[in-house]
């Protein structure tokens, strides 16, 4: 079993890498080779029984993935992407990384007849947008309102068509907002969703720019990684007529998140959250869909978090 | 008012050209220049007051549209495409013509800052697919089951994003099955829908490969041309958050089509239709969505045919 991870130096890539090394197998086969691709060399944990190729590659360069695909990976986790704000700031960069590199990856597999290779790609709840219904389901139209969402949606179609034609075996998982991310607050509009929990747990102040009743559709990093792994293991026959679908996040709202924080870390932690409405962030977050019926993912065996408290408990256990 | 038509030598391109020349104006401005683009030189009717450029261009060639876009068209009707069967037979050709050429057109407009140029593109009911509800609406997901539908859907997203960013003013119309097309029966699965009317009206036999109760979502050539013109004239502000939508076709079924044929041309015309179920065509046609709530198009002022008899009457009047 040879696995390729693009974006291997990133947050999800690193977590996935550790998970794969610790589970030692995928799809019932022992993992013998891992190929890691990112702009910079990915950090590599100790893995005595696995041959690891670690390639710093600009995936937007012509034929960048030739050498990597010549090794004929059985499973590809395609996580490399530029984030929403970067894709919005630079259309050409977003198209090159988020769309053209995915197309080149598909073409590279097609050229090498890797039609049994399972390609698991991360798409995003950002592919949704427009005049959405209160509760979305598997047949809700994608009407992305960002270039990032547009590029992800285009990749979904391309992967579906290449899969339908038998050129690759693709699976595209639309990820909910990931909470709790590690690190520091950043410019992303979603930054607060992790920050209002992470900073108070670390004894620091955080700013909440949205109302207490703001709903969010979230998934913990652990469940996302489990979903990626499961995405590789699902049988092709079960995937039906379209290869992309939303993962079973949970719907929560800010008040519930803070109540869970209080249960875990006490009222003094909640008191570290300052409420400062932000007219720039509020409408953006309000436009994100928060309620889904995830019938397809459920049927395929994907599992989300039980409740929001479990998400905090897992973070605390990991970072203690 | 300078108008560019790609695919100007095709069925819709030619009809649109005649319509524009006879109406002499678009968006309240006199038409002074027309640029026609196709693989071969388009036929050009007499139009004394209009300067017509007629360019045989391979739109898949690098920079193929540079000269054409240097003339800074105010409105572009982008109709050039390879059809469904050709895109299915040759993935590279379909991607080159249906997707890459559209992207190049958008980039050409962006480079020349043609951000006020109205781009009207023809998409298709073929962009829908998968496990569809009985009645589709403006928020039904696209899950195309052909490469043609995939490529059209990707163009929809790209045009929407370029419009959202203010780089172009795009409008994408998903066309119903066009009935009655002129010409002869061909290999397309939809060929019968025109053939079972056109041939009997001409005193010839036709074959109906699908059951009498097969439903279809159709629009006459005249109404499609009216919709393209209206697509250029709709105010940008009215288009909302997504630039692509289905046109208001009418839902009919084969028995109703033949009943309309009887009313117009008598029982002897209907008797010229032989019913020969075709196991290859039947499931294809059955998978096409036939019932839509076209709220967005209706609200924007697009108008479909009144009933099926009107479609036949118009064909007879034109070909008498």
Which residue of chain A comes nearest to B158, CA vs CA? Answer: A150
Chain B residue with minimal CA distance to A241?
B130
C-beta atoms surrounding A59 within 10 Å: 22
* Residue in A140, A150, A241 closest to B157 by CB: A150
CB atoms near residue B151 (< 10 Å): 30
CA distance A142 to chain B (A): 6
DSSP-assigned letters across all residues of chain B: -EEEEETTTSHHHHHHHHHHHHH-EETTEE--EEEEEESSPPP----TTSEEEEEE--TTSTTTTHHHHHT--SEEEE-----HHHHHH-HHHHIIIIIIHHHHHHHHHHHTT-TT-EEEEEEEGGG--SS--SSB-TTBPP--SSHHHHHHHHHHHHHHHHHHTTS-EEEEEEE-EE-S--S---SSTTHHHHHHHHHHHTT--EEE-S-TT-EEEEE-HHHHHHHHHHHHHS-GGGGTT-SEEE---EEEEHHHHHHHHHHHH-HHHHTTEEE---TTHHHHHHTS---B--HHHHHTT----S-HHHHHHHHHHHH-
Q: Using the predicted structure, report yes or no on whether residue B284 has a pLDDT greater than 90.
A: no
Cα–Cα separations (whole angstroms), residue B144 to B5, B116, B154: 26, 31, 10
Residue of B nearest to A242 (CA): B143
Give the separation between CA B94 and CA B104, rounded to whole angstroms: 14
Give the model's pLDDT for residue A283. 87
Mean pLDDT, residues B283-307 taken together:
95
The overall average pLDDT reported for chain B is 96
Q: Which residue has the higher pLDDT, A93 or B320?
A: A93
Our CA-based measurement puts residue B130 at a distance from the nearest CA of chain A, in whole angstroms, of 5
Tokens of A268: 């003094």
**B141 vs A contacts (CB less than 8 Å):** 138-142, 242
Q: Which CATH number does A2-175+220-246 carry?
A: 3.40.50.720
Kindly give the residue spans of alpha helices, DSSP state H, lying in A74-139.
84-89, 91-94, 101-111
Tell me whether residue A315 is one of the annotated catalytic residues: no
For residue B271, is pLDDT > 90? yes
What integer pLDDT is reported at residue B188 of this predicted model? 81
pLDDT value, residue B61: 94
Nearest Cβ partner of A242 from B138, B143, B160?
B143
Query: How much is the pLDDT for A194?
Result: 96
- Let me know: does B47 contact B34? Beta carbons within 8 Å: yes
> Given an 8 Å threshold on Cβ–Cβ distance, is A242 in contact with B139?
no
Decide: A138 and A245 in contact? Cβ < 8 Å: yes
Ranges of chain A whose pLDDT falls below 50: none
Whether A131 and B139 lie within 8 Å, measured CB to CB? yes
Query: What per-residue confidence (pLDDT) applies to B280?
Result: 87
Q: How does residue B287 score in pLDDT terms, banded at 50, 70 and 90?
A: confident
Q: Collapse the DSSP code of A91 into the 3-class scheme (helix H, G, I; strand E, B; otherwise coil) and give the result.
A: helix
B153 neighbourhood in chain A, CB within 8 Å? 157
Numbered ranges of CATH 3.40.50.720 in chain A: 2-175+220-246
Please tell me which of the candidates B141, B147, B150 has its beta carbon nearest to residue A142: B141
pLDDT tens figures, B137-153? 999 999 999 999 999 99
Cα first-last separation, chain B: 34
Task: Give the gap in angstroms from C-alpha B92 to the nearest C-alpha of chain A.
Answer: 10
Task: Among 3.40.50.300, 3.40.50.720, 3.90.25.10, 3.40.50.150, name the CATH number for the domain at A191-217+250-291+305-319.
Answer: 3.90.25.10
pLDDT for position A222: 96
* Contacts within 8 Å (CB) and 24+ apart, A63-66: A64/A101, A64/A104, A65/A37, A65/A104, A65/A105, A65/A108, A66/A108
Q: Out of B128, B148, B162, B315, which one is annotated catalytic? A: B148
Residues of chain B with Cβ-Cβ distance to A150 below 8 Å are 157-158, 160-161
pLDDT for res A185: 86
Question: pLDDT per residue over B113-133, tens digit each?
Answer: 999 999 999 999 999 999 999
Nearest beta carbon to residue A141 from set B132, B139, B150: B139
pLDDT of residue B218: 97
pLDDT confidence band for B4 (50 / 70 / 90)? very high
* % chain B with pLDDT above 90: 93
| Token pair listed for A38 | 């990112």
Q: Do B164 and A143 touch (CB under 8 A)?
A: no
Q: What is the pLDDT of residue A187?
A: 79
Interface of A with B (CB under 8 A): 91, 129-133, 138-145, 147, 150, 153-154, 157-158, 160-161, 164-165, 240-242
Asked if B130's CB is within 8 angstroms of A139's CB, the reply is: yes
Nearest CA in chain B to A143: B242
Q: Is the peptide bond before A166 cis (omega within 30 degrees of 0)?
A: no
Q: Can you tell me the distance from the alpha carbon of B231 to that of B300, in angstroms, rounded to the nearest whole number?
A: 9
Q: Does B2 have pLDDT greater than 90?
A: yes
pLDDT at res. A136: 98
Confidence of residue B21 (pLDDT cuts 50, 70, 90): very high
Instruction: Tell me how many residue pairs between chain A and chain B have CB atoms under 8 A apart.
Output: 78
Q: Are A141 and B141 an interchain contact pair (Cβ–Cβ within 8 Å)?
A: yes
Q: What is the ipTM of this complex?
A: 0.95
- With CB atoms and an 8 Å threshold, state whether A139 touches B131: yes
Query: What is the spatial distance between Cα A163 and Cα B145, in angstroms, rounded to a whole number?
Result: 11
- pLDDT at residue number A13: 97
Shortest Cα distance from A186 to chain B (angstroms)? 24
Residue B303, pLDDT score: 97
Cβ separation B150–A131 shorter than 8 A? no
State the pLDDT confidence band at B170, using cuts at 50, 70 and 90. very high
Sheet containing A244-246: which strands, arranged edge to edge? Answer: A51-56, A33-38, A2-6, A75-78, A118-124, A169-175, A244-246
B149 Cα to chain A: minimum distance (Å): 9
Q: Please judge whether B160 and A150 are an interchain contact, meaning their C-beta atoms are less than 8 angstroms apart.
A: yes
Residues of B in contact with A129 (CB under 8 A): 241-242
Pick the closest to residue B49 from B28, B24, B74 (CA basis). B24
Neighboring chain A residues of B147 at a CB cutoff of 8 Å: 161, 165
Q: Which residue of B has its CA nearest to A137?
A: B141
Coil, strand or helix: which one is A291?
A: coil
Most B-contacting residue of A150, A243, A299 (CB-CB within 10 A), to test interface: A150
Interface contact flag, B240 A140, Cβ < 8 Å = no
Instruction: Output the CA torsion sign for A92, A97, A102, A105.
Output: positive
Contact B158 A161 (CB under 8 A): no
List chain B residues with CB under 8 Å of A147.
161, 165
Nearest CB to B157 within list A139, A153, A164: A153
Please, where in chain B does CATH 3.90.25.10 lie? 191-217+250-291+305-319
């Amino acid at each position: 079993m040879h696995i390729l991870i693009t974006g291997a130096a990133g947050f999800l890539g690193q977590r996935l890498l550790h998970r794969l090394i610790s589970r030692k197998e995928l799809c019932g086969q022992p993992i013998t080779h891992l190929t890691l691709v990112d702009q910079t060399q990915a950090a590599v944990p100790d893995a005595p029984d696995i041959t690891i190729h670690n390639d710093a590659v600009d995936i937007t360069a012509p034929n960048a993935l030739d050498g990597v695909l010549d090794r004929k990976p059985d499973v590809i986790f395609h996580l490399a992407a530029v984030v929403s704000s970067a894709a919005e700031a630079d259309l050409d960069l977003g198209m090159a990384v988020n769309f053209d590199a995915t197309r080149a990856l598909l073409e590279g597999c097609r050229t090498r007849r890797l039609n049994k290779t399972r390609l698991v790609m991360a798409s995003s709840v950002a592919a949704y947008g427009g005049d959405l219904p209160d509760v979305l389901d598997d047949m809700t139209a994608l009407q992305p309102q960002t270039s990032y969402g547009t590029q992800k949606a285009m990749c979904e179609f391309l992967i579906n068509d290449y899969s339908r034609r038998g050129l690759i075996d693709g699976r595209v998982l639309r990820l909910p907002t990931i909470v709790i991310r590690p690190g520091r607050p950043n410019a992303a509009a979603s930054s607060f969703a992790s920050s209002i929990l992470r900073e108070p747990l670390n004894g620091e102040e955080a700013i909440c720019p949205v109302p207490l009743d703001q709903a969010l559709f979230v998934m913990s990093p652990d469940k996302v990684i489990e979903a990626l792994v499961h995405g590789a293991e699902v049988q092709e026959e079960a995937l039906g007529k379209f290869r992309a679908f939303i993962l079973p996040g949970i719907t929560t709202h800010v008040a519930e998140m803070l109540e869970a924080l209080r249960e875990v870390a006490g009222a003094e932690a909640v008191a570290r959250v300052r409420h400062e409405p932000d007219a720039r962030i509020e409408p953006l977050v309000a436009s994100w869909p928060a309620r889904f019926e995830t019938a397809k993912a459920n049927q395929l065996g994907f599992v989300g978090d039980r409740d929001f408290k479990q998400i905090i408990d897992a973070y605390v256990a990991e970072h203690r």
